[in-house]
């Protein structure tokens, strides 16, 4: 534990929904829900306005629609979120070389390692300036927690939400934690929480009073001892700059259960192709191919095959996934499929142990069995949701050629541009029509117009910067109003 609150935790406020509100002026101050829009979709993020209706992340989208029927429902635009996240992470990188991203919208920063702060006063000044710079660069708000440990810094940022800063002074940890529920502590999920509740422990104070021996008896040596230390406010985990991914995977949930075995196999091969693309984008390869199948009755099966060497060959991964599928009974229907690769490496074991040859297998043609015969398309998971005509949520181009006009689909929230009216975004589509609101970040709420889905004056568009004029790189360190090359206490950074 540190003697000064020099570990900072940043958590962007309702990040995905906040990005959409910043990009779409007509949605500011209104309930916005981002996630899968199909009948089996789930909520990725809900704005604070939507949370007042009881909508929460990971809630089934159908339940969210019942709670907030008048909210704006949008598909995720992950390319935009990644871009904005990159701007935020660059700001954090100016504070310290030790930045530990946890997700697109959350990270720990070791302020002491960067010389940005050595005491509470300096740390608070850095945190406030960081919040201001995030707003200036992205137009968004973030909540900051400062403490002497990662656990307490994260608790502090949660207390600061939305758009605030909380600093926990060293020495006050036990008094702060005592009345909190046991689920506040890292590693206490629903199962462990229920186990502790049955033992009469519902608050952190109960854990501290129970003692280490009792917690070890209930939870085992490692978990019990760790939980007791955290109940006393002790957490010596360092901020780690690089967190190596253990696996890369993709999955799809389907609006309608798949019963056709050929269609199931085609979906598995398509997922394998997508997984390899992500693998290559990350510059990695992997040894173990994993298949996930969730059946009609919600039972989930996972099968894996370890190859003789790491690979990023789409044919190898596709054929391994197909072999794994052969061992799974899909009778009754399939509601979810996933393909992943683990055992990651930075090299490939080229044809040394060749298990497949690209020359011996045709390239994946992208056309599903029975396309054009009414086969239900998948609801894309957030990683694949994005703008565009055919190929939007659930869209399938028949035969690999240009889609027929009636198949041109537009995802709610997608960026578009009209030859006459300029930039806008899709409010909704159906029955051969698409409704577009023409506005852009920084403008007044725009007008709504409706077009035929095959209107050739309407095209997908790249997203616009959330803050006009901020499409260029960040200003150099030391410029007034930006994060300085010196810490708040005047000490020069290394």
Q: Which residues are catalytic?
A: 106
Establish whether the linkage from the previous residue to 466 is cis, with ω within 30° of 0. no
∠71-72-75 over CA atoms, to 5°?
135
Structure tokens at 460: 């997908």
Backbone dihedral angles phi then psi of residue 16, each to the nearest 5 degrees: -60, -45
Report the side by side order of strands in the sheet with 247-258. 300-311, 285-295, 334-345, 247-258, 378-379
d(CA 143, CA 126): 13
Distance CA 226, CA 235 (A): 9
DSSP for residue 457: T
Calpha distance 377→463 (Å, rounded) = 26
Residue 295 C-alpha from the chain's centroid: 25
How many other C-beta atoms are found inside a 10 Å radius of the C-beta of residue 399? Answer: 12
Residue 148: DSSP 8-state: S
The dihedral formed by the CA atoms of 28, 30, 35 and 36, expressed in degrees to the nearest 10: -120
Residues 6+ apart with CB under 8 A from 119: 4, 6, 489
- Pairwise CA distance, residues 494 & 329, whole Å: 59
The whole-angstrom separation of Cα 491 and Cα 472 is 29
Q: What is the DSSP letter of 33?
A: E
Q: Please report which helix (H) or strand (E) contains residue 102, including its range.
A: strand 99-103
∠21-384-460 over CA atoms, to 5°?
65
Contact 147, 7 (CB under 8 A): yes
- Token duo for residue 298: 């919600």
Cα gap 143→141, rounded to integer Å: 7
> 225 near 215, Cβ under 8 Å?
yes
Question: Do 91 and 134 meet the contact criterion of CB atoms below 8 Å apart?
Answer: yes
């Amino acid at each position: 534990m540190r003697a000064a609150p020099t570990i900072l935790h940043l958590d962007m406020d309702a990040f995905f929904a906040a990005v959409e509100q910043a990009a779409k002026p007509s949605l500011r101050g209104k309930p916005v829900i981002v996630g899968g829009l199909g009948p089996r979709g789930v909520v990725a993020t809900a704005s604070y306005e939507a949370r007042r209706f009881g909508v929460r992340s990971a809630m089934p989208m159908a339940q969210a629609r019942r709670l907030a029927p008048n909210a704006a429902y949008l598909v995720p635009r992950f390319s935009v979120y990644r871009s904005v996240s990159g701007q935020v992470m660059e700001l954090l990188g100016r504070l310290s070389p030790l930045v530990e991203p946890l997700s697109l919208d959350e990270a720990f920063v070791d302020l002491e390692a960067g010389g940005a702060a050595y005491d509470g006063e300096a740390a608070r000044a850095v945190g406030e300036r960081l919040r201001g710079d995030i707003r200036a660069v992205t137009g968004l708000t973030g909540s900051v927690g400062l403490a002497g440990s990662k656990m307490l810094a994260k608790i502090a940022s949660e207390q600061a939400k939305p758009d605030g800063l909380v600093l926990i002074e060293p020495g006050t940890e036990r008094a702060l934690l005592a009345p909190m529920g046991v689920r506040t502590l890292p590693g206490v999920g629903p199962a462990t929480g229920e186990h502790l509740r049955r033992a009469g422990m519902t608050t952190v104070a109960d854990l501290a009073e129970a003692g280490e021996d009792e917690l070890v008896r209930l939870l085992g040596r490692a978990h019990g001892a760790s939980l007791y230390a955290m109940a006393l406010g002790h957490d010596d985990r360092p901020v780690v700059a690089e967190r190596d991914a253990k696996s890369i995977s993709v999955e799809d949930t389907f609006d309608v259960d798949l019963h056709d075995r050929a269609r199931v196999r085609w979906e598995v091969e398509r997922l394998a192709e997508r997984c390899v693309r992500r693998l290559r984008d990350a510059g990695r390869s992997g040894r173990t191919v994993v298949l996930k199948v969730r059946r009609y009755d919600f039972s989930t099966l996972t099968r894996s095959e370890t190859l003789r060497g790491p690979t990023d060959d789409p044919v190898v991964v596709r054929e391994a996934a197909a072999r794994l599928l052969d061992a799974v009974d899909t009778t009754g229907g399939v509601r979810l499929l996933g393909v992943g690769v683990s055992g990651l490496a930075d090299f490939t074991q080229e044809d040394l142990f060749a298990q497949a040859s690209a020359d011996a297998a045709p390239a994946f043609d992208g056309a599903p069995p029975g396309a054009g015969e009414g086969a239900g398309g998948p609801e894309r998971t957030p990683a694949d949701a994005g703008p565009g005509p055919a190929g939007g949520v659930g869209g399938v181009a028949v035969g690999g050629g240009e889609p027929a006009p009636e198949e041109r689909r537009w995802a709610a929230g997608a960026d578009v541009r009209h030859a006459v009216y300029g930039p806008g975004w899709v409010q909704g589509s159906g029955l051969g029509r698409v409704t577009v609101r023409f506005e852009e970040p920084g403008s007044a709420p725009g007008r709504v117009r409706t077009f035929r889905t095959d209107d050739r004056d309407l095209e997908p568009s790249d997203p616009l910067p959330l803050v006009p004029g901020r499409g260029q790189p960040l200003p150099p360190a030391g410029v007034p109003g930006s994060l300085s090359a010196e810490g708040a206490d005047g000490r020069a950074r290394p």
